[in-house]
Amino acid sequence: MTTPHAPAPGPAILDLASDPAELTAALIDIESVSGHEGRLADAVESALRELPHLRVHRDGDAVVARTAAVRSERVVLAGHLDTVPLPTVEGSRGTVPSSWSGQGDDRILWGRGATDMKGGVAVQLALAAALTQPNRDVTYVFYDHEEVDSARSGLARLYRNAPELLEADFAVLLEPTDGTVEGGCNGTLRFQINPTGLAAHSGRAWRGDNAIHKLAEVLSTLAGYEPASIEVEGLVYREGLNAIRIRGGVAGNVIPDSAGVEINYRFAPDKTLEQAQQHCRELFPGHELEFVDLSPAARPGLDRPSAAAFVAAVGQEPKPKYGWTDVARFSEKGVPAVNFGPGDALLAHTDDEHVSARAIRDCYRALQDWLTA
Amino acid sequence: MTTPHAPAPGPAILDLASDPAELTAALIDIESVSGHEGRLADAVESALRELPHLRVHRDGDAVVARTAAVRSERVVLAGHLDTVPLPTVEGSRGTVPSSWSGQGDDRILWGRGATDMKGGVAVQLALAAALTQPNRDVTYVFYDHEEVDSARSGLARLYRNAPELLEADFAVLLEPTDGTVEGGCNGTLRFQINPTGLAAHSGRAWRGDNAIHKLAEVLSTLAGYEPASIEVEGLVYREGLNAIRIRGGVAGNVIPDSAGVEINYRFAPDKTLEQAQQHCRELFPGHELEFVDLSPAARPGLDRPSAAAFVAAVGQEPKPKYGWTDVARFSEKGVPAVNFGPGDALLAHTDDEHVSARAIRDCYRALQDWLTA
């Protein structure tokens, strides 16, 4: 096993003409936990600069490569270079370097990022090399800091520094969807309700005012809440409203003067962020809501011609995306976006992250067909 | 200011014939934070051994001194030698050594233990020296480790090691009551309710089972609970039922699979510990209650002749004691017990603990009258 964040052993070389599953293994072997994407970004940039049909731009540890503007339509293929930290449990296979099991098309590739999302990045890179004359202009976007808080997002930084590089009619984010198209995504927000009271010795509780008891009504609302399922452009999004943290208490003999609960609302893309916030305020009248995280939902955009063509090419029934992904950033900028990538999203971040060679190759072929048909 | 727990500068000498307020100052100056009562216990033991009318026993850092058994009735005067730690805030007056402010009987004595309870201990010691032939046999009990968890209580240890030394018809605990008689005490118990659930990513909340939400019903019961006021032997005890801690949560994007609330019930002495526990179980049907602290209530015992005589001698209307004190230990052993001592209990453990010289002298005279009339 390599030591995490050890000094890099010189520049890494990527062969973009290799099979995309083999290329995935090579990408996994260049460890790139969030904040340490530099060596992988260098390798991606170097390999792309070898391709004469692409214009390559570097911004921090993000790399953008664009075909010359010759078609009437431009699409983005996007993926993040970073991974969550390596497993800490001894013997986990979802680590660095990668390893293989099985045979042929049933071979399984194990390693950190196998599903989230070096399989998708390998497909991007292989397409970038192979499609010298695609039927649509393509912008390949590789970015850093996706697995950490939103403020450090490499994609958000690109949108600030060079928004013109990201202009497009449609975007495909190669996050793992097991080869189906997942449209849009739920929004997510979190807020805290922090009632205050008056401390007192619990032997004379009537001199105090118990802040924990003031959460009774809030929890009752949560326990009784029936989350909606909402159809948007033919996809049904399931919402959720959940307490994710609760705290309160000073000592065993003190009436607590403060308490707090933090609540997560996952909302369907029929709502703007402001409408979602308003819904929460209406659910908890008389309480002050302190919002601590706000990420808008993304409409699937499946009514756009470019998206419809993509879905037709892939040939599978699209599904809604429940988790929040960067499709929301594209959607916010007016670029309809879907998730479509190899691997099972439920394996992401696990200690035994893996992906089949078949899934990577199938994804490659589907996108190749769409961009060459 | 002396350094806490500095090496003792040789044995301390107490003059039991001095004024009880001056004696209080001398006791404060012998620092005795819980676990460091040795030097004070030595001084108390030495001084008592000078008195030919008393038999003195030492057990750890507890000292018991008894008059010869010549009367038909025996009473206990009890107090603890230890204090809570010294104030940490610079400039606090409730520290060691003691200091005085004001003039004459209005003089105020400041220092750690001034109210809790070196004033009471000084009264005990002064009475022990002065009453060579009291009208009742008297057992003076001085003990360690009252201000820490119950398992280390010096009084409980005495009851284990030498229960015969504590036999009596009535006990007065000289805890601060501002000179009134406080009878019995509420019991106190704590229990936890710790529901479990099933963890899931909050983007797919329907795959999980939110443990925090299961506390809704518990908090509603607490918020709606009306604590009783219960009369026992003429004294009205106010009960209380309060959440004193609440916890739950894993991460901002995880449905929590565990949560917990800790609840304190202060109950009147009309109930046994078992009845109090049963009351709690009935309040929270369907939940498992994990009891973590159980201290019985003490009936005031004011219907006993010895107690009635004491109340008559002190000449003030008795009140209920809300906080739990060691009267419950005496009560448990069949010895009715009351709290009666100098100083305001609300000043106990504060950074500016103090007591008036008058309060100490008044307490001394009241007990002297009762034991000599």
List, as one string, the DSSP characters of B286-329.
Answer: TS--EEEEEE--B---TTSHHHHHHHHHHTS--EE--S--THHH
Confirm if B188 and B328 have CB atoms less than 8 A apart.
Answer: no
Burial class (CB in 10 A: 0-12, 13-18, 19+), B263: buried
In the set A146, A147, A175, A262, the catalytic residue is A146
Assess whether pLDDT exceeds 50 at residue B59: yes
Tokens of B75: 């009473």
Chosen from A147, A175, A201 to mutate, greatest number of chain B CBs within 10 A: A201
CA B371 to chain CA mean position, Å: 24
Dist CA B371 CA B373 (whole Å): 6
Asked if the Cβ–Cβ distance from A256 to B243 is below 8 Å, we say yes
Which one from B37, B137, B146, B262 is the annotated catalytic residue? B146
Q: Is residue B135 within 8 Å of residue B371, measured between CB atoms?
A: yes
pLDDT exceeds cutoff 90 at A35: yes
Tokens for B326?
């060691």
Burial letters for A251-289: b for 16+ Cβ neighbours within 10 Å, e otherwise? eebbbbbbbbbbbbbbbbbbbebeebbebbeebbeebeb
- Considering only CB atoms, which chain B residues are within 8 Å of A255? 242, 244
Nearest-CA distance A248 → chain B (Å)? 5
Backbone angles phi, psi at B346, to 5 degrees: -70, -15
DSSP annotation of B104 reads G
Contacts of A251 in chain B (CB under 8 A): 244
CA distances from B243 to A191, B50, B190, B214, B266 (A): 23, 51, 9, 15, 12
Using the 8-state DSSP alphabet, how is residue B212 labeled?
G
Taking only the tens place, the pLDDT of each residue in A106-151 is: 899 999 999 999 999 999 999 999 999 999 999 999 999 998 888 8
Compute the distance between CA of residue B270 and CA of residue B272 in angstroms, rounded to an integer.
Answer: 7
Confidence band of A304 (pLDDT split at 50, 70, 90): confident
Q: Are strands A319-320 and A337-339 parallel, antiparallel or unpaired?
A: unpaired
A219–B213 CB contact, under 8 Å: yes
Every domain of chain A with CATH number 3.40.630.10 lies at 20-185+298-372
8 Å CB contact of A203 and B186:
yes
* B186 close to B324: Cβ distance less than 8 angstroms: yes
C-alpha dihedral over B49, B50, B54, B55, to 10 degrees? 30
A37, A61, A82, A182: which is the annotated catalytic residue?
A: A82
Contact A171, A79 (CB under 8 A): no
Q: How many CB atoms lie within 10 A of CB A99?
A: 16
Q: Which residues contact A356 (CB under 8 A, 6 or more apart)?
A: A105, A106, A107, A108, A109, A342
| pLDDT exceeds cutoff 60 at A2 | no
Q: Nearest-CA distance from B314 to chain A in Å?
A: 25
Chain segment A183-222, per-residue pLDDT in tens: 888 999 999 999 999 988 888 888 899 999 999 999 999 9
Any idea which architecture A20-185+298-372 has in CATH?
3-Layer(aba) Sandwich (3.40)
Which of B244, B251, B323 is nearest residue A249 as measured by Cβ atoms? B244
3-class state of residue B45 by DSSP: helix
Tens digit of each residue's pLDDT (9 = 90 or more) over B298-351: 888 888 777 888 888 887 788 988 778 899 999 889 898 899 999 998 888 888
> Which residues fall within 8 angstroms of residue B16, CB to CB, at 6 or more apart?
B23, B47, B48, B50, B51, B125, B126, B128, B129
- Active site annotation includes A82: yes
Annotation marks residue B169 as catalytic: no
Cβ(A137)–Cβ(A72) under 8 Å? Answer: no
Question: Most B CBs within 10 Å: which of A190, A191, A236, A253, as the mutation test of the B interface?
Answer: A253
A236-268 confidence digits (pLDDT tens): 999 999 999 999 987 777 899 999 999 999 999
Q: Cα–Cα distances in Å, from A121 out to A50, A57, A185?
A: 17, 17, 21
**Interior/surface letters B265-285, b for 16+ CB within 10 angstroms, e for the rest:** bbbbbbbebeebbebbeebbe
Closest residue in A to B212 (Cα) is: A243
- How many other CB atoms are found less than 10 A from the CB of residue B234? 12
- Residue B87's contacts (CB-CB under 8 Å, 6 or more residues apart) are B94, B95, B112, B351, B352
Instruction: Give chain B's count of helices (H) and strands (E).
Output: 9, 19
**What is the arithmetic mean of pLDDT over A284-300?**
91
Chain B residues with CB under 8 Å of A266 CB are 202-203, 205
- Is pLDDT larger for residue A331 or for residue B58? B58
CATH architecture of the domain with residue range A187-295: 2-Layer Sandwich (3.30)
Give the chain A residue whose CA is nearest to the CA of B244: A249
- CA B252-B254-B259 angle, to 5 degrees, is 95
pLDDT tens per residue, range A165-181: 999 999 999 999 998 99
Give the nearest chain B residue to A218 (CA atoms): B216
pTM listed for this prediction: 0.74
Boundaries of CATH 3.30.70.360 in chain B? 187-295
Residue in chain B nearest A252 by alpha carbon: B244
Match 């953008």 to its residue by tokens: A64
Nearest CB to A210 within list B188, B213, B243: B243
